[in-house]
A = this chain, B = another copy of it.
Amino acid sequence: MRALIEEVIAEELDNPSLDVKSDAAIVDFESERLVMTTDGFTVQPLVFPGGSIGKLAVCGTVNDLAVAPAKPVYLSLNVIVEEGVTIELFQRVIHDVGESAREAEVRIVTGDTKVVPKGQAGGIYLVTTGVGIPSRGSGASDFGIETIVDGDRLLISGPIGDHGAAVMLAREEFGLSGNLRSDCANIFPLVNSISDLDGLRFLRDPTRGGLATVANEVSKCSGMNVILEESLVPIRPEVRSVCEILGFDPYYLACEGRVLAVASPEASDIILSHWRTLEQGAQAACIGEIAVNEIGNSLVRLTTNLGGERILDELEQEPLPRIC
């Protein structure tokens, strides 16, 4: 088992910086300021339409670096695998790690594998830690959630909830996945095209807890209201259908390949025009705006298609365990 694991990992992830026999990697890094982030992945099922835990583990950490904003450079990879996982499944997952890393132009430079008894790791858990180079000057003071002002706009790079809906559907084993696929992808190209813009205030990938959770974070930290327009928020019909069947709210479903940006009106126009030149950003949209809050706590308000209003609260509890 261990020998097979080492063979699979060496073959799928081989790159000049990775020495599978060494405990630490020495790498060059063109900056004396770095951005570091880490994430654990325990998604069930391990493979789902549009991706796998392997693809997710690379994209998730690359995306956290991207929105910092930073250029992702190096990753480490930890694998915790149960005895009894088939070598085919293990190979598929590690293959996806390698392929996603190559696509994102990051190098996996160090790693570790632990084998635990059957039943003690949901098949496979992955942890990736990423190091990147800050891409907006050195700790730019004109960027950050606290720089958001009245009249700023909220932009999303594509339809919301695809990942959450695809994983939930795959888990339910309805046998009808249809065209629904996770949006799991590297968002660095979307961010890289805009990260130097004046008037860009904030970037975030709406993963766990979805758009509503990031919007609440914006509202809470800026002390202003976030007004979203239901008619402007891109949601695929398939995602709407799954939400109706399974009783989920698309505003709280995870995306794994989208960016939410908050920017001045002028910057917003430029961001949308950049995003729409990219395949990933073809459905990018302005979905709302920031408004000064005058009474009580700031909140997130959704203006519905029927002209009504709905408050999108913070989630009280984990809505969808283990979707990422």
Contact = CB atoms under 8 A, between A and B. Distances in A.
Contact of A27 (B34, B121, B122): B34
Interface in A77-117: 77-80, 109-116
A184 interface: no
A80 B81 CA distance: 13
Contacts of A127: 38, 40, 78, 112, 127, 129
Copies of this chain present in the complex amount to: 2
A293 interface: no
A282 to B, nearest CB: 26
A24 B78 contact: no
A139 B318 CA distance: 46
Contacts of A110: 36-38, 129
Contacts of A76: 36-38, 129
Contacts of A162: none
Contact of A114 (B29, B40, B64, B115): B40
A28 interface: yes
Contacts of A67: 23-24
Contacts of A70: 24, 26
Nearest to A119: B119
A125 interface: yes
A272 interface: no
A47 to B, nearest CB: 18
Contacts of A64: 23-24
Contacts of A33: 26-29
Given A24-B65, A32-B31, A120-B121, A38 B111 contact: yes
Contacts of A34: 26-27, 29, 34, 131
Interface residues of A, number: 57
A95 to B, nearest CB: 20
Interface in A39-81: 39-42, 64-65, 67-68, 70, 74, 76-80
Contacts of A120: 119-122
Contacts of A122: 116, 120
Nearest to A122: B120
A311 B80 CA distance: 33
Interface in A3-28: 21, 23-28
A134 interface: yes
Nearest to A113: B40
Contacts of A236: none
Contacts of A68: 23-24, 26
A321 B139 contact: no
A171 interface: no
CB-CB nearest 8 A-B residue pairs: A129-B129, A24-B37, A38-B76, A127-B127, A24-B68, A23-B64, A40-B78, A40-B114
Given A38-B127, A119-B120, A121-B121, 8 more contacts: A23-B67, A23-B204, A38-B78, A40-B79, A40-B80, A41-B114, A114-B125, A115-B321
5 contacts: A2-B318, A23-B204, A24-B70, A78-B129, A115-B318
